[in-house]
């Protein structure tokens, strides 16, 4: 049992480190799938690290104060104090906990970077925010938004992450601008959906006209048109069925011939815990379905029935989806 606990603690640290790779993620899936005891050990290790954070950070602060006092003493006595093992361990634990708080492994718990936004939604939460000049935000799950300093040109919004539907319906000609990644979306008396996830921004015009600016590029979108931009640059304007785009407003997720891997990634934005695909072949299966956001725990069962997948339920809302054994 002690060996299992040590392995679980090592996985918590490894998955939260800068050195974690895709091979590590696959290895973790295999380790976690060995037994329920493995999954339980990981959940307990995660909880221990979270509980240690306040104490570890206090140790780190004490270490810093001692170091500052030591510098003063060296000025007088010209000698260098030797850091004790406790201070070293305290600093190491504090650094590890701080990193895990910022980069949670497998996104199993919220990052502390989400706490500082002006408006934010938790996993599965949606909310409406009425702003100045007749601008209304409909915020989807896991969304973080800042309100930028006001200007004469209208309301300024920064979409840090997540998704929102924005309606600018004022009778005056104030312009709403939304910054996302390295681009800016602006509109007057229009309605549009904007999504910022995984380093990519997707803008869909639902009514009126919006302008997307990125560097020297400027593109206009009218109703039913969509554009994406990201590391690969500005994409082409394409026509799109806005029904699936806005289905989340009706508490639905709609997929039309979408690979299961993408479906799982989307479902994970709305549910606590994690669906994990352990089969690449299963992930390539195309899905034509709609799911209620309020009943996403049914998704695993539906995948099992539709694709004959093997489903392993683990503590903490973790569910492994793999090909059924022949």
Q: Where do the domains of the chain lie?
A: 2-109, 119-242, 251-323
Give the residues across from 256 on adjacent strands.
288
Rounded CA separation 273/123 (Å): 10
* Residue whose structure tokens are 């976690």: 32
Q: Which fold has domain 119-242?
A: Jelly Rolls (2.60.120)
Rounded CA separation 78/144 (Å): 50
- Are 45 and 8 in contact, with CB atoms under 8 Å apart? yes
Helix (H, G, I), strand (E, B) or coil at 105: helix
Give the residues across from 154 on adjacent strands.
151
Rounded CA separation 81/71 (Å): 9
Q: Record the tokens describing residue 240, joined without a space.
A: 């799109």
Looking at residue 168, its pLDDT comes to: 86
Q: Record the tokens describing residue 94, joined without a space.
A: 């504090």
Same CATH topology for 119-242 and 251-323?
A: no
Looking at residue 265, its pLDDT comes to: 94
CA distances (Å), origin 54, targets 37, 50, 60, 170: 28, 8, 10, 47
Helix (H, G, I), strand (E, B) or coil at 142: coil
pTM of the model: 0.67
> Dihedral sign, CA of 237, 240, 244, 249?
positive
Rounded CA separation 305/40 (Å): 27
Domain 251-323 classification at class level: alpha beta
- Are 179 and 157 in contact, with CB atoms under 8 Å apart? yes
Closest to 179 (Cα-Cα) out of 212, 135, 140, 153: 212
Rounded CA separation 211/271 (Å): 33
Block mean pLDDT (10 aa), the chain, length 326 = 75 63 72 75 67 52 61 54 50 50 53 67 93 88 87 72 89 79 92 94 96 94 97 94 96 95 95 90 93 93 91 86 75
Looking at residue 22, its pLDDT comes to: 63
Task: Summarize pLDDT for 11-49 with one digit per residue, the tens.
Answer: 776 665 555 566 777 777 778 777 767 777 777 776 666
Helix (H, G, I), strand (E, B) or coil at 217: strand
Rounded CA separation 124/296 (Å): 10
Closest to 6 (Cα-Cα) out of 29, 31, 25, 26: 31
Looking at residue 247, its pLDDT comes to: 97
């Amino acid at each position: 049992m002690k060996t299992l606990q040590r392995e679980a603690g090592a996985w918590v640290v490894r998955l939260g480190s800068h050195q974690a790779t895709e091979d590590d993620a696959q290895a973790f899936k295999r380790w976690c799938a060995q037994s329920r005891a493995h999954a339980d050990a990981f959940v307990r290790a995660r909880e221990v690290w979270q509980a240690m954070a306040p104490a570890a950070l206090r140790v780190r602060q004490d270490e810093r104060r001692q170091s500052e006092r030591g510098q003063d003493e060296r000025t007088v006595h010209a000698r260098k104090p030797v850091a004790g093992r406790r201070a070293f361990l305290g600093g190491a634990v504090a650094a590890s906990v701080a990193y895990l708080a910022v980069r949670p492994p497998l996104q199993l718990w919220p990052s502390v970077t989400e706490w500082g936004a002006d408006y934010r939604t938790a996993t599965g939460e949606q909310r409406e925010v009425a702003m100045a000049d007749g601008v209304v935000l409909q915020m989807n799950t896991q969304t973080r938004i800042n309100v930028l300093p006001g200007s004469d040109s209208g309301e300024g919004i920064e979409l840090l992450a997540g998704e929102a539907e924005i309606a600018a319906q004022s009778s005056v000609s104030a312009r709403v601008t939304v910054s996302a990644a390295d681009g800016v979306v602006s509109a007057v008396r229009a309605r549009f959906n904007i999504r910022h996830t995984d380093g990519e921004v997707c803008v869909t015009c639902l009514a009126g006209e919006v302008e997307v600016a990125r560097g020297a590029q400027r593109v206009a979108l009218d109703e039913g048109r969509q554009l994406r931009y990201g590391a690969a640059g500005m994409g082409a304007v394409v026509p799109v069925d806005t029904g699936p785009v806005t289905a989340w407003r009706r508490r639905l997720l709609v997929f039309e011939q979408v690979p299961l891997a993408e479906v799982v990634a989307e479902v994970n934005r709305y549910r606590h815990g994690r669906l994990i695909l352990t089969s690449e072949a299963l992930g390539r299966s195309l899905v034509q379905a709609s799911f209620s956001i309020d009943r996403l725990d049914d998704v695993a069962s539906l995948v099992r029935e539709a694709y004959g997948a093997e489903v392993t339920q683990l503590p903490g809302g973790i569910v492994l989806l793999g090909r059924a054994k022949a």
